[in-house]
A and B are shown apart, each in its own frame.
Chain A
């Protein structure tokens, strides 16, 4: 086995990001779509932390903490919207919200 390099971490984070992206497009359940967005944010975090280790600065860690704060806000607002939508339509399938379509 070779030693772990920056590339391993970058490949892993790219893979996670793409999986999250595929999940957002493929799934119709709003909650799971939100979870996939969280996965994408985590992939970004992994890049930040790996690069912080690579450049030996704490900047990447600060950025990762900022991303976490944004993820928390996103989850709170997103779940609030999901609850509102569920109250109106009794469903959390993205397909059921086509009423805005012209």
Chain B
């Protein structure tokens, strides 16, 4: 069962990402990306990471992609403008770079011994366990992320502000 689910969701994820790259219309790209985020959340759930899976939907599908679609609607692009987009001259090289990186990663990954996933503790992936780890072992990175978010908020406000002077 889990095997089938993995193949179904990974197929959906990869296919929607490819579609996203090929679509001319940014809204269509964004919708494809939302679907791929959902199937990624399902993959996280298959990996017993329920907390991260729900956060994936909450943060990516619920906030980041809404922001993207909001900006696309705000800019309200004309159709003609979208259609004249040319593919980069680097396309060929891009694919070569992508395949090269992929094969390099494969070489590295297959150094990891091939074992099936072991047994896990019942509390694995719950909010309690992740939170415990986040606020003890990773307390300093957590604070730094907080500062990063603050900087992000200030930066976004400054960028989005209309010039008043």
Contact = CB atoms under 8 A, between A and B. Distances in A.
A and B touch in the complex (CB under 8 A): yes
Interface of A: 1-12, 14-23, 25-29, 31-32, 34-36, 38-39, 42, 45-46, 49-50, 52-54, 56-59, 61-62, 64-66, 68-73, 75-77, 79-84, 86, 91-93, 95
B164 interface: no
Interface string B1-42: 011101100100110011011010010011001001100100
B97 A1 contact: no
For B81, B90, B94, B142, the residue with the greatest tally of chain A CB atoms inside 10 Å of its CB is: B94
B94 A1 contact: no
A66 B63 contact: no
B21 A75 contact: no
A32 B85 CA distance: 12
The B interface is mostly helix, strand or loop, or mixed, namely: helix
A72 B51 CA distance: 18
Contact of B130 (A6, A28, A42, A62): A62
The A interface is mostly helix, strand or loop, or mixed, namely: helix
Contacts of A95: 86
Contacts of B82: 29
A80 B70 CA distance: 12
Given A25-B88, A32-B29, A75-B67, A62 B21 contact: no
Contact of B125 (A9, A58, A59, A80): A58
Contact of A31 (B26, B99, B117, B129): B26
Given A53-B120, A76-B152, A35 B101 contact: no
